[in-house]
């Protein structure tokens, strides 16, 4: 199994491109199932999760052509299998996103229940209840969700808590339902808006994406189109924090601070200097003096993203002063803490709050990645630490970061991937 070895202490410097957003790509790929015409998606990141979703589409019968310029052409005119098997769903929960489109277009979906994962129980009850409200007949047996419907109909659906993939699944299903659907307490994440824009280009009638109520008027068919996936705001934030924790000076291209208002405010509070040039899709981030610890709590968008919590915790570990980070979205998302403690970090967990006392240094050690964003935080900690950090189980990081060690190497980091 591959490992990443990092020798910390080098300030990052240079220019790095930010990839397309994983969390916008996965629903967009699933949404192609809503039409039998050819769809072209560009700015697709080269990630394990994207490969898993393409494999799943392939099993449903999609014809997929990947070009050299981060584009995929998908033709779904011969879908003949409606099963999302356990081996794929258990490696990537977002596989559940095929359920809404398959049911809406073919009236038939058998999707494995995702089961537990490293960051909590993560149920999918709201996906199921929403589809039931739209007229689906859903039974659970043998570890599968069996969903059937002649044609879905519009409904008023209230989701609590706010769920990102739940909103996306129901949004996709509603585009082909008969009548009007109201999605209340909908997720406002930019990736939901990206999906709605894509669906609109396919002929869907959607209002209110990006607000807490999305109204969808179902249509009979959707058609092919082209769509460019938005930049990855989580990767953007991760590289901003990498610049901060190494005292670096980095230019990020193909992205902007547009969807990162709160993380940027927190990073500025911590001492990061930022020059955003949205007209050129580039951002310069730099940091020289000692960072200051910042308090924050995660919340649905536009709140602080839970997917940046672990990375920000690393910053607090080497910043001046005491600080706290509260995790409000997932019940068990502090798995990285015990690994950071191995590097010497002073963190105490009380309930869903991580209390940190900033230290001037972390010290390299062997650590183990537990989930996607936790893995990123360990790489950041390794970049900031004195000496060598060896991170094992890094397949997690390949799920969501494109060539992370190559990008960091290009910024001058002392980092390498070794197999075995
Ligand atoms: C998505 C993102 C993930 C991010 C998360 C929160 C994708 C592919 N993944 O995950 O990177 O960390 O949003 O921003 O976009 N819940 C229920 N019932 C449900 C569904 C969710 O109780 O049916 C709860 C969850 O347990 C969790 C909360 O709602 O506590 C939010 O989860 P959700 O927004 O659904 O996360 P995902 O969509 O899985």
Nearest in space to 340 (alpha carbons), one of 315, 320, 322 = 315
Residue 359 half-sphere exposure toward CB, CA atoms < 13 A: 18
pLDDT score for 120: 57
| Cα torsion angle, 164, 379, 399, 275, sign | positive
What are residue 224's phi and psi, to 5 degrees? -70, 160
Query: Considering only CA atoms, which residue is closest to atom 4 of ligand 1?
Result: 307
Does the pLDDT value for residue 186 go beyond 90?
Answer: yes
Query: Considering only CA atoms, which residue is closest to atom 22 of ligand 1?
Result: 123
353 Cα: distance to centroid of ligand 1 (angstroms): 19
Nearest in space to 13 (alpha carbons), one of 415, 412, 414, 416 = 412
pLDDT score for 69: 79
pLDDT in tens, 103-157: 999 999 999 998 655 555 678 999 999 999 999 999 999 999 999 999 999 999 9
**Contact residues for 186 (Cβ-Cβ < 8 A; gap 6+):** 159, 162, 167, 171, 192, 208, 211, 212, 213, 214
Q: Note whether 98 and 111 are within 8 A (CB).
A: yes
Q: How far is CA 219 from the centre of its chain?
A: 29
330 Cα: distance to centroid of ligand 1 (angstroms): 8
165 Cα: distance to centroid of ligand 1 (angstroms): 6
Q: Tell me the percentage of the chain whose pLDDT exceeds 90.
A: 88
3-class state of residue 118 by DSSP: coil
pLDDT score for 119: 53
Atom of ligand 1 at shortest range from CA of 26? 8
Q: Note whether 335 and 374 are within 8 A (CB).
A: yes
- With 0-12 CB in 10 A as exposed, 13-18 as middle and 19+ as buried, what is 153? middle
Confidence band for 68, pLDDT divided at 50, 70 and 90:
confident
pLDDT score for 245: 97
Atom of ligand 1 at shortest range from CA of 94? 8
139 Cα: distance to centroid of ligand 1 (angstroms): 22
3-class state of residue 119 by DSSP: coil
Confidence band for 169, pLDDT divided at 50, 70 and 90:
very high
77, 117, 287, 317: which is the annotated catalytic residue?
117
Q: Which of 329, 333, 374, 396 to mutate to test the pocket of ligand 1 (most atoms within 8 A of CB)?
A: 329
Q: For residue 117, indicate whether it is catalytic.
A: yes
Q: Is 307 in the pocket of ligand 1 (CB under 6 A)?
A: yes
Q: Is 404 in the pocket of ligand 1 (CB under 6 A)?
A: no
Distances (CA, A) of 69 to 12, 90, 228, 406: 27, 30, 12, 18
122 Cα: distance to centroid of ligand 1 (angstroms): 7
Parallel, antiparallel, or unpaired for β 282-286 and 249-253?
A: antiparallel
Instruction: State how far the Cα of 181 lies from the Cα of 187, in Å rounded to an integer.
Output: 15
The DSSP-derived string for 246-288 is TT-EEEEES--STT-HHHHHHHHHHT-EEEEEGGGTEEEEE--
Atom of ligand 1 at shortest range from CA of 400? 11
Tokens at residue 237, please? 């934030």
- With 0-12 CB in 10 A as exposed, 13-18 as middle and 19+ as buried, what is 121? exposed
pLDDT score for 375: 92
pLDDT score for 403: 86
Q: Which of 164, 168, 401 to mutate to test the pocket of ligand 1 (most atoms within 8 A of CB)?
A: 164
Instruction: State how far the Cα of 153 lies from the Cα of 97, in Å rounded to an integer.
Output: 19
Q: Is 190 in the pocket of ligand 1 (CB under 6 A)?
A: no
Residue length of the chain: 420
Tokens at residue 294, please? 């910042």
pLDDT in tens, 298-351: 999 999 999 999 999 999 999 999 999 999 999 888 989 999 999 999 999 999
Average pLDDT, the chain: 95
pLDDT in tens, 391-407: 998 888 988 898 899 99
pLDDT score for 277: 82
Q: What's the helix, strand, coil split of the chain in %, to 5?
A: 35, 30, 35
171 Cα: distance to centroid of ligand 1 (angstroms): 15
């Amino acid at each position: 199994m591959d490992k990443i070895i990092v020798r910390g202490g080098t300030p990052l410097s240079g220019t790095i491109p930010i990839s397309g957003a994983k969390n916008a790509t996965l629903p967009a790929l699933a949404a192609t199932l809503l039409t039998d015409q050819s769809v072209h998606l560009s700015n697709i990141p080269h990630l394990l999760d994207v490969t898993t979703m393409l494999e799943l589409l392939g099993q449903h019968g999609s014809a997929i052509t990947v070009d050299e310029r981060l584009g995929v052409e998908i033709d779904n005119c011969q879908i003949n299998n409606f099963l999302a098997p356990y081996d794929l769903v258990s490696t990537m929960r977002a596989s559940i996103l095929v359920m809404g489109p398959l049911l809406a277009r073919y009236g038939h979906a058998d999707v494995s229940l995702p089961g537990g994962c490293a960051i909590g129980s993560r149920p999918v009850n709201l996906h199921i209840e929403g589809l039931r409200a739209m007229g689906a007949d859903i039974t659970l047996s043998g570890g599968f969700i069996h969903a059937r419907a002649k044609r879905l109909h519009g409904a008023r659906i209230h989701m609590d808590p706010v769920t990102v993939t739940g909103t996306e699944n129901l949004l996709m299903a509603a585009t082909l339902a008969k009548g009007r659907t109201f999605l209340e307490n909908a997720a406002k994440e930019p990736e939901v808006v990206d999906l709605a824009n894509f669906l609109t280009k396919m002929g869907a009638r959607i209002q209110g994406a990006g607000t807490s109520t999305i109204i969808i008027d179902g249509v009979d068919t959707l058609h092919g189109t082209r769509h460019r996936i938005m930049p990855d705001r989580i990767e953007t934030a991760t590289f901003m924090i990498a610049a901060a924790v190494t005292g670096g000076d980095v230019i990020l291209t193909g992205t902007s601070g547009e969807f990162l208002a709160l993380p940027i405010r927190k990073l500025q509070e911590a001492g990061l200097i930022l020059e955003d040039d949205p007209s050129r899709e580039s951002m310069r981030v730099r940091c020289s003096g000692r960072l200051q610890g910042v308090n924050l709590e995660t919340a649905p968008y536009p709140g602080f993203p839970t997917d940046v919590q672990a990375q920000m915790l690393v910053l607090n570990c080497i910043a001046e002063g005491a600080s706290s980070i509260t995790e409000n979205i997932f019940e068990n998302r502090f798995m990285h803490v015990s690994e950071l403690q191995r590097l010497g970090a002073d963190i105490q967990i009380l309930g869903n709050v991580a209390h940190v006392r900033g230290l001037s240094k972390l010290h390299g050690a062997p650590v183990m990645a537990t989930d996607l964003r936790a893995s990123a935080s360990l790489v950041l900690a390794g970049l900031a630490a004195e000496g060598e950090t060896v991170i094992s189980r890094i397949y997690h990081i390949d799920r969501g970061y494109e060539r992370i060690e190559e990008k960091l190497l290009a910024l001058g980091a002392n980092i390498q991937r070794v197999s075995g």
